[in-house]
Structure formats: structure tokens, C-alpha cells
Structure 1
Amino acid sequence: MRGFFKLVITVLMIACSLTLFAAFPALLQAGESDAILAGAQKEGELVTWAVGEIPFQTMVVDRFKKKYPFMKKVDAVRIPSEKLRSRLITEAQTGKGSNVDVLGLSGFELLFLAEKGFFAPYRSPEANAIADGFKDAGGLWASYYVNTLVTAYNTRQVAAKDVPQRWDDLLDPKWKSNIAFFEEEYEWFANFLKVVGREKGLDFMRRFARQDLQYRGGHTQMVQLLAAGEFPLMAVAFAPRVSVVRASGAPIDWAALNPVFSNPVGMGVYKAAPHPNAAKLYVDFMLSREIQQEIWVNAAWKGSARRDVTPKDPRWQGIKVLPLDLTLAHGYQEVAKEFQQIFKPHGGGR
């Protein structure tokens, strides 16, 4: 009988140990969260440099300060990705670094800063809900929204039956001189070649370049010109911008041509953040389902890489979206050179 009781006690001890072991990551995470919260309370302020329209960044900051009233001062500065990268590098060269806590930017610039060591590793628990490809495997950054690339068109100039359904549809002679194209569309160019295959991709690009494209210098301005009827088609546009302008009553819409790419807009903690705990708290808040769904998706029309967020436009349901492969930036000079060789003879590139 005594042996039986010893066996029972041993089994119970093992069971308790296994339960505690299984719960350990959650307990550790809770402990880390408590430490971050306590640290942020002491710091009480925060500076962010990030892309994203000011009205929506302000919404996030207002909610953040309401949830955490001890955050008395939060400065959210909007800086385009290229200028953000340039400023960080310039200030790093002085040896003083930058007075910023959180960085948010997109595309090749995001990868560049991550690889140059400008981000401090921080694995936000909220990043677990974000799809692979839209976050750094080492915990340096995670997407707080995504810009999906679409083909946009003016609904007064393009009949429903003529809306392109495939990339090859843009090669139709009827679209000659009628398609706008960004003069430095390097990221889309490189990813297109990778996905469809280099030989097939280059064949498409060369034929596309012969369509007498209307080259322009910025996506935002191009969408406005599209809405004004300057041209009927825009080959590569950011879906969120098209959706916002369309919602205002402009005669434009979009079509998703396979392959569909999405540009991650990532956020992370600056390596020398003066307020590292407040920075982590803000990143957690920015990546949360509440902020993703209610502000970046519902209010700003952005896409979200969170699996539990519903697109505002139901047409996105079921569409396969591929994250841009940012590592293609390693061959940036070669990509730019090849792009120029194809498009510059026809008036594109710089």
C-alpha cells in the first residue's frame, strides 16, 4: 500500500511539473510585460518617427495616452522612409545617434536599417498574430500595416468589360500611351521577375516598356491624376490610396492582377532608444488587433498582416497576397540598372 501511495505522489509531482513547464513561457511573457509597463511608467514619454498619415498616427497616440495616462508626452513625427533612413545614417555618423524611440518605415529602406543594426530586437507578443513574411524572423520589426499593390483605373474611361484581369492584358494595343507607370518601380520589378521566372518576366517587361508608358515620379500624385482623367490606367498603385480616393467619390477603382504583392510597413524599437520600455509598449499597442482593425484598416483603408483582422473591402477575401521579398534589396544596384536598361530607352527611369 505504501508503495502505491509513493507511486501516486510521484505521478502527481510529474504532472504538476509538466503543467508548470508548459505554462512557463506565458508566465515569462507576463513577467516581461509587467517589467515593460513599470519601466514605461518611469519613462513617461516617447518619440516616434514613422510613415503613415498624421491623422491616423494621431488617433493611435490619443488612444495610447488614454490607455496609459502616465505617458504624458508622445511625439509622433511623420517621416517618409527614404528621409528617415538618411536622417538616421547622418546622425549616426556624428557619433551622437538619434533622439527617437520607435521607427516605422517600409520596403528596401526597412531591410537596410534592420541589417545595419538600427533596430533593437524585441519580440512583441502581438507579432504572433502576424503572418510570416510580414515580420522579421529575429524580432527586429513587424508590420503595422501593409500597402498592397494593384492596378488602378478610371471608371469613366475604362468599361467594366475592359478592366485588366491579367498582367498580359496591359500589353493590348488599345492601352498604348494610356498607362501610367512609376519611373522607379524597382521593388515590384524585382519581385515580379522572381515570382514569374526571370526569362518570362523580362519578356513581359520589354513588351510592356514598348507600350509608350506615361512615366511619373510619385504614386500619390499619380492616383490624383488618374482620378482627374489624365490617363485611364495606372499599372502599379497602392490599394489603400486608391480606396481612400474612391471613397471620396472619385471615379477610380482597382483590380488585383496575379501575382499580387504587398509592401510591409514595419515598426520596431530603435537600438539606442532613450525610452526603451515606452517604445516596446507602443509597439505592442500599434500591433494589437484593436488598433489594426479600427484605425489602420477601418479608418485608413490600409491592409493588415494580422490573421485575425477583417479587410474593409470584402473583395480582398480569398485573394492571395505575397509579401515583397525585401532581401532583393541586396542586389539593388543591379535591379535599378536592369530596370533602367529596359525602360529608359522608352522614356522611363532616371
Structure 2
Amino acid sequence: MGFYKSLSLVALATVGVSQAVTETRSLDQIHQAALKEGGVVTLWHGGSDPHQQDALKNAFEERFPGMTLNVSVRSSSFIGPDIDRQLAAKSVTVDSIFLQTLQDYPRWKRQGVLLNYKPAGFEQVYDEFKDPDGAWASSTINAWSIIYNKDKLIGIEPPATFSDFLKPEFKNKLIFTSPIDDDAVLNTFDLIINAYGVDFFWSLLEQNPRFAPHHLSIANEIGQPNTTYAATFGTTIGLFSQDPLVVHFPTEGAPFTSWAQGAAILKDAPHPEGAKLLHSYVLSQEYQNQTGSWSIRRDVAAPKGFSSIFSTPNTNPLDFAHWMYDRENVERFRFWVQDKIGYPA
């Protein structure tokens, strides 16, 4: 039986919800169980740079001596099909998945391939950011901002809303992550066009922007003093400015994209205790207080100068998931944009 035929059978299968396991052990107790299991966790994490989750790897391995967190970072859109291939072949080598493709989690839950596990601290996670049966619980909150290099905008009013990017002084100064390969970036363009109309898109293209394939390259290009690129939206360097780069979240006009990253353990994970340790750690107050972003927990305050994500103006972290569920709309919009801008260079 071929891969695609096998995959279609997996997709058609609907399995009853198994009883969730609620974690009652301390992190140290789970740590000991994970060491006896082999001390290894394999995580596939959505992202654009292989080293994007080095901070998580280092924090986890330092906190839990003897543990090894093997992290592979690729686009979530590419990871999902590889997970489906492993599931179809009944050969799962991955323990945990932290992905932006939020539409995959309900499907995988229906197929019965996710471990219904409620990590330590699960009760403090906002209800909107977790599955009630424990099939997944979000790990972090991400958001795209406006970013500009203040040193390159001397005498130019910096952009405060997305509509400001159409001002003539920004011609040849704009660079964006291509929305073709990243649904969250695509969502930003959809939000802007819905707010301002399709004429905004045509006018933006007249600014002669560059579309690049990776988020991290965008900030680097803007930060370099010897490039012409001075501003962008639909990417991130975190919540706080990093001189000369200024981070700004628009409070009016088209809303900005924010979402809670999905996180789940595969039911047939080869290292279930290690995976439970990772998820309980990521959901802990200890870790959530050091992410530098909004928290998925009710009892962890937002970083200084910010309100909770649900009180943040001009964004709704739940809208992205609803948008992602409508795959027909997403794919039609992606092909429309691709036809207009081509592939990133």
C-alpha cells in the first residue's frame, strides 16, 4: 500500500477519546523517570532557523542534568506531512511537536495519535490555549510586529500602522518575509487586505519591496548599516527593541497577528517520560517567566510594559487558529499572493 493511500486511511479513522493522564509528579520526579528511560527527548519545532530553539535546548538540559533535548527546527508546514508519513508507516521517531499549523491538532486528536496528557500546571493554562482532554496545550505566544531601523529613518516619521508603509519615503526601503511559505505571515497580509482593501496590496508592491525566505534574515538585513532596507512587518525579534531596531505593535488600523503555538506528545512517542518532562517544564511558571513574551498561563504576568495577551489592543490570539482551520480559504489566498509576488529570493 502506497504512502498516500495509507495516509488517507489514517485520515479517515476516528478514534474515541482515551482517558487523559493528569500529571501529579514534581518536575524532579518526572526527571528521574525520564533518566531511567534513556534521558532523551526528540522535539520537532516549527521555525525558520536551525538554531532558533537553542535557548530552549540549553535551558532544558541545564535544568535537568543527564537529559538530551534533540531539537529539529523547520517550517511547521513541512513538519506536519512528515509526521503524517511516520503515522501512516507506524514508525514514530518523534516524541514532541511544537507547531504553528494549529489545524493539524484537532485532526490528529480525532485519529487518536496524540497522547492525552495534562502536564503539571495544565490547570493554569488559559482554556482557550489547551484541549480539554489534554491532547495538546500551547507552549508559547507568538506575535508579528512592525520593526524598523531608527538610524535609517532619520528625518522620516517611523511607521505606526501598516498603512504607513505606503508613504513614498519608504519606497525601496521595505523587506518582508515571504508569505508563501509561512501561514502566519500570510495571515498578516490577509488581515491587512481585509482592513484596507486589495488596493493596499497593489500600492505596497509599487514600493518595490523585497520578499525573503527567512524571518531571521529580515532583521539582519534591516539591522545592517550598509543595506537600504529600513522597515518590515510580519516578523519578530521579540517584544522589545534591540538598538538600532525598534519593535512596535500597531494599536489601530489593521490588527496584527498573534497566536499560541501548539504543543503535543505523540501517543507512540519512543520517549514518553522525556516528553512529559519537556511539556511539564515548558508549561511551568519557572519557564514561562523566562520566555520574554506573553504567557499561556493565567498566573504569569505579562512582561513589563505589556498587558495580558487578551487585553492587548488590536490583536486576538484566537483568530489565527480559526483562520487556519479554513484550509480552502488559506490555500486559495496563498496561490493568489504567489501569483503576484513569485517565489522569494
TM range (shorter): 0.7 to 0.9
Q: Which AA in structure 2 matches 1:167?
A: F
Task: Work out which of the residue numbers 232, 243, 250 in structure 2 matches 1:257.
Answer: 250
Task: Work out which of the residue numbers 267, 279, 286 in structure 2 matches 1:271.
Answer: 267
CA-to-aligned-CA distance 1:31-53 (integer Å, 9 cap, x gap): 85159958936635342314352
CA-to-aligned-CA distance 1:45-94 (integer Å, 9 cap, x gap): 342314352233221232134xxxxxx54333233234533432333333
Structure 1 counterpart of 2:231 = 233
8 Å CA contact 1:64–1:282 kept in 2: the answer is no
Structure 2 counterpart of 1:58 = 58
8 Å CA contact 1:142–1:266 kept in 2: the answer is yes
Structure 1 counterpart of 2:97 = 103
Offset of 1:183 from its aligned partner? 1.8
Relative to structure 1, the CA distance from residue 338 to residue 202 in structure 2 (aligned partners, 3 Å threshold; closer, same or farther) is: same
CA-to-aligned-CA distance 1:292-334 (integer Å, 9 cap, x gap): 113x22xxxx443223334445256763342152243344454
8 Å CA contact 2:44–2:72 kept in 1: the answer is yes
Relative to structure 1, the CA distance from residue 93 to residue 237 in structure 2 (aligned partners, 3 Å threshold; closer, same or farther) is: same
Q: Which AA in structure 1 matches 2:236?
A: F
Which consecutive unaligned segments of at least 5 residues does structure 1 have? Answer: 1-28, 66-71
**1:81-100 to 2 correspondence within 5 Å?**
81-95=76-90, 97-100=91-94
CA-to-aligned-CA distance 1:117-167 (integer Å, 9 cap, x gap): 442222335233333543345432222222211010011012487122222
Using the alignment, how far apart are the partners of 1:207 and 1:332 within structure 2? 27
Task: Work out which of the residue numbers 36, 41, 46 in structure 2 matches 1:47.
Answer: 41
8 Å CA contact 1:152–1:234 kept in 2: the answer is yes
Relative to structure 1, the CA distance from residue 336 to residue 349 in structure 2 (aligned partners, 3 Å threshold; closer, same or farther) is: farther
> SS of the residue aligned with 1:162?
coil
Structure 2 counterpart of 1:14 = none
Structure with higher helix content: 1
Task: Work out which of the residue numbers 280, 283, 286 in structure 2 matches 1:287.
Answer: 283
Structure 2 counterpart of 1:208 = 204
TM-score of the pair, normalised by structure 1: 0.72
Offset of 1:197 from its aligned partner? 8.3
8 Å CA contact 1:147–1:239 kept in 2: the answer is no
TM-score of the pair, normalised by structure 2: 0.72
Using the alignment, how far apart are the partners of 2:285 and 2:269 within structure 1? 25
Offset of 1:284 from its aligned partner? 1.4
8 Å CA contact 1:205–1:342 kept in 2: the answer is no
Using the alignment, how far apart are the partners of 1:268 and 1:220 within structure 2? 26
Task: Work out which of the residue numbers 144, 152, 157 in structure 2 matches 1:157.
Answer: 152
Alpha carbon RMSD of aligned pairs, Å?
A: 3.5
Structure 2 counterpart of 1:219 = 215
> SS of the residue aligned with 2:151?
coil
Relative to structure 1, the CA distance from residue 146 to residue 49 in structure 2 (aligned partners, 3 Å threshold; closer, same or farther) is: same
Using the alignment, how far apart are the partners of 1:40 and 1:288 within structure 2? 18
CA-to-aligned-CA distance 1:247-296 (integer Å, 9 cap, x gap): 4xx511111024232232232211212343443233112110111113x2
Offset of 1:349 from its aligned partner? 6.3
Using the alignment, how far apart are the partners of 1:260 and 1:221 within structure 2? 21
Relative to structure 1, the CA distance from residue 199 to residue 279 in structure 2 (aligned partners, 3 Å threshold; closer, same or farther) is: closer
Relative to structure 1, the CA distance from residue 79 to residue 86 in structure 2 (aligned partners, 3 Å threshold; closer, same or farther) is: farther
Larger Rg computed on CA atoms = 1
